[in-house]
Structure 1
């Protein structure tokens, strides 16, 4: 009897400990769906970098360029296609650079005795924004950029004094340009082209670049690239007095009294070596070669030639328009 009473008691306790379930239990899913990851990508990339020579649109401005920048993309309209075709985005960028050590390639080397330094400081701030639309086969963008040139190379201090004459108008202007760009892929090759018009200084600059990415490992790639430039009354923001000075009495080596470069400017080829440090940081060393062409090549006078407009004064700005092999590195972090 005691044993039966004990078994009844244990059965009652087990029934009391069983949770009450309203209705039949649902079977566990065979392929449970993982929760979607939270997208915390802000679409912003910050970078810092160094270039042994600052080459911009075929002109070698000087040695040891240090730079920093921030750029981003804001999706305005999402594309209906799986590849994002049909989307519209706002692209923006802020960049700043400076010649470390003030080793520019324009200052005369033979006028130290009259107080003209053979090195000039130079800094550049660039702000840009563009609307880009993905049409599928190609992306088209239209934007505006403002380039503020600073330092003694830009304001002409040292040149705007004797013997060149006070207020000679030497130096550089700021640049305000409108840009129409097209980007597309032809198989493994990415092509990008742009037409740029300077609202403040006048003149056009066109460029065409091609690159391809060769994957070595999940973290390392090789990216060969080539770019070609063409100018139409292009003056790079230099004042008329500076263009006369650097061109040896003409405008960028031409005989015309006014205007700028019209023709091919330079061919630039190089190889980037991007290395993914983690999911957000990339280190990109590179090496490149710049070859001035046409009227820009004709500006590369020998450093032993006279520095116009002073016969017998050597040290003309030949290096700025000579072919140069240079290198650099960029560290970029995506947020």
Structure 2
């Protein structure tokens, strides 16, 4: 009796442990699909930075430039990974910079002749931009608009527009800039090429540029990025008023100069090396060193300018148009 009861108990347990199958079991997938990661990237990058000199399109505006900016990309039309049609995005940026020590390069330093005229004018710049970019695969093409608002004593003419030995305002300084930009970007092997054509709607004139750079990975976190840029102007004036162009072109302090049509020719060659350091998955610290080498008409401005202001006669300082080695650093964080 005890043996029969034990056998019945074992049989019941074996039956209870057997899974109930309604039909043939499905085979396990050979390549299980991992769950898609949650995308919390807003496509926005914030940055702060410092430059020993503010160099823009071949001109040296002054020393100790501090800046901050935001830029982003908003995907409007996808398709690059679906049907090969490429993607269309809205690119935007907001940038603000200031000469921290008010040490500009354009103004003469006449502390003995007229204390109002010094090379210690403030300068700030606010830039707003937006562009539509389409990625065709081999190259990306963009078309956009940007507004550059120049502020501070340098933009307003500084001491040159004050009463004194000149007696009245002569219209020195800078205008704001509104420009349309057509750009293109492509890769040739390890080299990235970018170019743009820019037309100033307010001041007239064209500015073209071509830049090349290559990224050399040292470690997973550190890279070396050599780069070079070349600029060309066509009746280009960088937003400077006619009186200022006459002054820096070797004319008189009353703006009488043959420099009416702006710069036409190669402006400058800019070469440098960036050293981006990836701090974490979102933050990057990028020190750099660069050299600005004026060419053609910009270099000729340095030759024609003098520091000899004698009762209204003379050219402007040559500092903005001299070759210069400068450096800086940028901290950027992507959100």
TM-score, length-scaled by structure 1? 0.89
Within the candidate set 253, 265, 268, 2:267 is matched to: 265
For 2:26 and 2:284, the matched residues in 1 are separated by 48
State the 1:27 CA deviation. 4.2
The match for 1:102 is: 102
For 1:294 and 1:219, the matched residues in 2 are separated by 40
* SS of alignment partner, residue 160 of structure 2: coil
State the 1:3 CA deviation. 5.7
Q: Is the 8 A contact 2:213 2:228 kept in 1?
A: yes
State the 1:202 CA deviation. 0.7
TM-score, length-scaled by structure 2? 0.89
The match for 2:79 is: 79
Greater shift after overlay, 242-251 or 159-168? Answer: 242-251
Q: Would the alpha carbon gap of residues 187 and 208 (structure 1) be closer, same or farther in structure 2, given more than 3 Å must change?
A: same
Q: Is the 8 A contact 1:254 1:295 kept in 2?
A: no
For 1:195 and 1:293, the matched residues in 2 are separated by 19
The match for 1:126 is: 127
* SS of alignment partner, residue 245 of structure 2: helix
1:75-224 → structure 2 map (5 Å cutoff): 75-80=75-80, 86-111=86-111, 113-161=114-162, 162-224=164-226
The match for 1:43 is: 43
* SS of alignment partner, residue 161 of structure 2: coil
> What whole-Å deviation, never above 9, does each CA across 1:63-89 have from its counterpart, x for those lacking one?
111111111111112234579662111
Aligned residues: 332
State the 1:10 CA deviation. 6.5
1:317 corresponds to 2:317:
yes
Q: Is the 8 A contact 1:53 1:64 kept in 2?
A: yes
Within the candidate set 226, 229, 234, 1:227 is matched to: 229
Q: Would the alpha carbon gap of residues 119 and 86 (structure 1) be closer, same or farther in structure 2, given more than 3 Å must change?
A: same
* SS of alignment partner, residue 154 of structure 1: helix
The match for 2:56 is: 56
Q: Is the 8 A contact 1:264 1:293 kept in 2?
A: yes
For 1:308 and 1:203, the matched residues in 2 are separated by 32
For 1:324 and 1:30, the matched residues in 2 are separated by 62
Q: Is the 8 A contact 1:230 1:263 kept in 2?
A: yes
Mind listing any 5+ residue stretches in structure 1 that lack a counterpart? none
For 2:303 and 2:73, the matched residues in 1 are separated by 43
State the 1:246 CA deviation. 2.0
> What whole-Å deviation, never above 9, does each CA across 1:279-298 have from its counterpart, x for those lacking one?
22111111100011112112
The match for 2:289 is: 287
1:29 corresponds to 2:29:
yes
1:326 corresponds to 2:334:
no
RMSD (Å) for aligned C-alpha atoms: 2.7
For 1:305 and 1:98, the matched residues in 2 are separated by 25
> What whole-Å deviation, never above 9, does each CA across 1:187-207 have from its counterpart, x for those lacking one?
222111111100011111111
For 1:47 and 1:187, the matched residues in 2 are separated by 29
* SS of alignment partner, residue 301 of structure 2: coil
